[in-house]
């Protein structure tokens, strides 16, 4: 999302279009499907400044969520923490390590 916004802004500055509706339409049509593009279609924004403000807020929220997910996770996978349970009537061929 951040890369798309930056590339789009470079093109807008380079082309210097005068029609705000054309800029908004081009931005919305160029986006990949996802929650942000759906919200843009749901709440029609008329200026590119409004779209840019919402896009930056969306990018910041995604960054915070990603950072939070990285901090909350366990240090090691749960499956590696202990061996799988053995069945009661299952015979083992290996000797237990002391």
* Contact (Cβ atoms closer than 8 angstroms) between residue 20 and residue 46: yes
pTM of whole model > 0.75?
no
Residue found by looking up tokens 């279609």 in the block: 41
CB neighbours (10 Å) of residue 48?
20
Structure confidence by residue, pLDDT tens digits, 28-85: 888 888 888 888 888 888 888 898 999 999 989 888 888 877 655 555 555 556 676 7
The whole-angstrom separation of Cα 61 and Cα 59 is: 5
């Amino acid at each position: 999302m951040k890369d798309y916004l930056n590339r789009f802004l470079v093109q807008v500055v380079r082309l210097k279009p005068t029609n705000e509706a054309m800029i908004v339409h081009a931005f919305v049509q160029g986006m990949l499907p996802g929650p942000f593009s759906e919200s843009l279609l749901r709440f029609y924004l008329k200026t590119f400044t409004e779209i840019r403000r919402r896009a930056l807020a969306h990018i910041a929220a995604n960054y915070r969520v990603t950072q939070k997910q990285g901090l909350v996770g366990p240090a090691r996978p749960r499956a590696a923490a202990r061996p799988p349970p053995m069945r009661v009537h299952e015979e083992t061929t290996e000797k237990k390590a002391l």
